[in-house]
């Protein structure tokens, strides 16, 4: 069988794989259109709420003062934001066990879930409905194939090693 080869970004790619790439791109766009979130803006986090929750997810519990310094906002503003997030069940305030004078703000499980939902571009409900119609075996095959595709996108290990700068010899001179 005669296959044409094309050079793309310095890589030689057989024509059937280019056709497959176009088909995948088309399918990816259709998947996005079929399953993108449609819950509107009334359920999404504001920019500052998102920033506060993300900071807590990376840093762990912080004081209002620590958060205000990180966010570069007045302590009173951050306190108001935390009060609103606490009212919504996304954070909670607890006394520091090591220093009972300090109050730490913690991310709640609901806060973690809100961050996860906020970061997701696809509707889990729409996806779950469609995957249930496909059945467990086909769902597992799709997910396994997508995982393999992501792994295949990573550069080969030998390419990473050859791209690394050569080890420098240690000099005795400062």
Q: What are 14-30's pLDDT values in tens digits?
A: 888 889 999 999 999 99
**What pLDDT does residue 35 have?**
92
* Burial bucket for residue 16 (CB in 10 Å: 0-12, 13-18, 19+): exposed
pLDDT above 90 as % of the chain = 56
The mean per-residue pLDDT over the stretch 47-76 comes to: 91
Global pTM reads 0.59
155 pLDDT tier (thresholds 50, 70, 90): confident
pLDDT, position 103:
92
CB atoms < 10 A from the CB of 111, how many?
23
46-147 CATH = 1.10.10.10
Domain limits, the chain: 46-147
Give 7's strand partners.
12
Alpha helices in 88-171 (DSSP H): 109-119, 124-134, 136-153, 157-163
Residue 173, pLDDT score:
45
Q: What is the pLDDT of residues 95-138, one digit of tens each?
A: 989 888 899 999 999 999 999 888 888 988 999 999 999 999 99
Least confident range of 66-70, 78-82, 152-156: 152-156
- Alpha carbons 82 and 166: distance in angstroms, whole number: 49
Question: Strand, coil or helix: what is 139?
Answer: helix
Output the pLDDT for position 166.
Answer: 56
- The band of 12, judged by pLDDT with boundaries at 50, 70 and 90, is confident
The pLDDT assigned to 169 comes to 47
Nearest C-alpha neighbor of 64 from the set 86, 47, 33: 86
Q: How far apart are CA 61 and CA 80, in angstroms?
A: 17
CA distances from 44 to 39, 41, 91 (A): 8, 5, 16
Per-residue pLDDT at 164 exceeds 60: no
């Amino acid at each position: 069988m005669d296959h044409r080869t094309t050079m793309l970004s310095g890589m030689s790619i057989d024509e059937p794989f280019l056709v497959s790439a176009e088909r995948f791109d088309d399918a990816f766009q259709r998947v996005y259109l079929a399953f993108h979130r449609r819950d509107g803006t009334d359920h999404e986090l504001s920019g500052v709420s998102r920033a506060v929750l993300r900071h807590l997810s990376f840093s762990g519990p912080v004081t209002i003062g620590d958060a205000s310094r990180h966010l570069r906002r007045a302590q009173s503003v951050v306190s108001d934001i935390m009060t609103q997030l606490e009212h919504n069940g996304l954070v909670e305030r607890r006394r520091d066990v090591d220093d009972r004078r300090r109050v730490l703000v913690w991310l709640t499980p609901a806060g973690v879930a809100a961050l996860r939902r906020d970061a997701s571009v696809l509707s889990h409900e729409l996806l779950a409905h469609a995957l249930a119609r496909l059945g467990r075996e086909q769902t597992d095959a799709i997910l396994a194939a997508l995982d393999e595709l992501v792994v295949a996108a990573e550069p080969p290990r030998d390419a990473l090693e050859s791209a690394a700068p050569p080890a420098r010899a240690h000099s005795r001179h400062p």
